[in-house]
Amino acid sequence: MSDTTSRTRTTTAVVLIANFMCNLDLWVVNVAVTAIGNDLPGSSLDGLSWVINGYAIAIAALLIVSGRAADRYGVTRVFQVGLIVFTAASVLCAAAPNLGFLIGFRVLQGIGGAMITTASLGLLLSTTAPDARPHAVRTWAAVGALAAATGPTIGGLLVTLDWRWVFLINLPIGVVAVLLTWRRVPHLAGQHGAPHPDVVSALLLSAGVAALVAEIVEVPQEGWTTLTILLAAAVLVAACLFVWRSRVHRNPLVAPAVFRGRGFGLANTAMLAFSGAFGIMLLSNSLWLQNVWHYGPVRTGLAMAPGPLMVPLTTAVLRRVGTRIRPITFVAWGGAIFAAGMVWGVLLRTAQPAYVGVLLPQLIAGGIGVGLAMGNLLATGAATVPSALSGAGSGILNTSRQIGSSLGVAIVVTALASLGQSVRGFDIAWGVAAGAAILTTALAIAMRLRAGRTDPVE
| 3-class state of residue 429 by DSSP | helix
- For residue 44, the 8-state DSSP code is -
Instruction: For residue 27, give the amino acid letter.
Output: W
Q: What percent of the chain has pLDDT over 90?
A: 21
How would residue 197 be classed by pLDDT, with cut points 50, 70 and 90?
low
Max Cα-Cα span within the chain: 64
How many angstroms separate the CA atoms of 197 and 214, rounded? Answer: 26
Ramachandran class of 5: left when φ > 0, alpha when ψ lies in -120 to 50, beta otherwise = alpha
Q: For the purposes of burial, counting CB atoms within 10 Å of the CB of 233, is it exposed (0-12), middle (13-18) or buried (19 or more)?
A: exposed
Q: pLDDT higher for 352 or 433? A: 433
Question: Which has the higher per-residue pLDDT, 132 or 266?
Answer: 266
| Distance from C-alpha of 382 to C-alpha of 403, rounded to nearest angstrom | 18
pLDDT tens column, 400-435: 888 888 788 778 877 877 666 677 888 888 999 999
Mean pLDDT of the residues in the chain: 82
The predicted pLDDT at position 458 comes to 40
Does residue 234 register a pLDDT over 70? yes
Label residue 439 left, alpha or beta by phi (over 0 means left) and psi (-120 to 50 means alpha). Answer: alpha
- Give residue 171's pLDDT band: very low, low, confident or very high (50, 70, 90): very high
Axis crossing angle, helix 226-248 with helix 199-222, rounded to the nearest 10: 160
First to last CA, the chain: 32
Query: Residue 285: how many CB atoms within 10 A of its CB?
Result: 25
Q: Given this model, what pLDDT does residue 2 score?
A: 58
pLDDT score of 5 more than 90: no
d(CA 227, CA 224) in angstroms, rounded, equals 8
Range with lowest mean pLDDT among 178-187, 259-268, 431-440: 259-268
pLDDT at residue number 205: 79
Any idea of the CA torsion for 231, 237, 243, 248, to the nearest 10 degrees?
A: -140
Instruction: Give the pLDDT score at 322.
Output: 58
Q: What is residue 455's predicted lDDT score, i.e. its pLDDT?
A: 47
Gyration radius of the chain over CA positions: 21
Arithmetic mean of pLDDT, 9-35: 83
Arithmetic mean of pLDDT, 365-383: 87
Q: Quote the pLDDT of residue 388.
A: 62
More confident residue, 31 or 157: 157
Q: What pLDDT was estimated at residue 454? A: 44
The stretch 279-284 carries a mean pLDDT of: 85
- pLDDT digits over 37-90, tens only? 888 877 665 677 778 778 878 887 888 788 778 877 888 889 999 999 999 999
> Is the pLDDT assigned to residue 218 strictly greater than 80?
no
Gap between the Cα atoms of 278 and 149, Å rounded: 10
